[in-house]
Amino acid sequence: RAKEIKTKLGTLLQKPDSTIDFIIPYPEKPEKPPKAQKPSPEEALQWRDSLEKLLQNPYGLTSFRSFLRSEFSEENAEFWVACEDYKKTKSPVKMAEKAKKIYEEFIQTEAPKEVNIDHFTKAVTMKNLVEPSPTSFDMAQKRIFALMEKDSLPRFVRSEFYHELIK
């Protein structure tokens, strides 16, 4: 697998720049992501008691992810967001594609962003993926939510990231 990636990279690197420009279309104007509205200190204060409110607020989610990145544990929030996106997927084909991607990225052993779930939860999740449904990742997502709630959220609330928001 690594050799395959090296070969592909080597091939790409040997091509002249004009070919790369041809392969990768550049957008006319770089799109700016919509600015998330900074919450009021009162709103941010509510996050101390509710991970759910924090994750549902775009600014809160971004701040929390930045904090987790600084602690090298961003995969938990990324997994949670991926599951939320997955649950909104209507097309069975798209659902199967997303399920496979989430599994490969977060669940399988040695996954690049492997989340810390117990063997039972991993087994149930794998069994659910035989026929992907909107609830396939529910158990794993609940475990990761609980982990963030009891572990990451208290550290976030004590962090500089959070104290800047409630000033």
pTM attached to this predicted model: 0.75
pLDDT tens-digit readout, 27-78: 443 333 445 688 888 889 999 999 999 999 999 999 999 999 988 889 999 9
At 165 the pLDDT is 83
State the CATH number of the domain containing residue 93.
1.10.167.10
* Residue 54, domain member (yes or no): yes
pLDDT > 70 fraction of the chain, expressed in percent and rounded: 78
Q: What is the DSSP letter of 106?
A: I
Number of structural domains the chain divides into? 1
Token pair, residue 163, equals 């104290």
Q: Quickly state the pLDDT bin for 20 (edges 50, 70, 90).
A: very low
Token pair, residue 114, equals 């492997």
* Residue 125, domain member (yes or no): yes
* Residue 95, domain member (yes or no): yes
The three-class DSSP label of residue 77 is helix
At 36 the pLDDT is 66
Q: Which domain holds residue 74?
A: 41-164
Tell me the C-alpha distance between 24 and 111, whole Å.
28
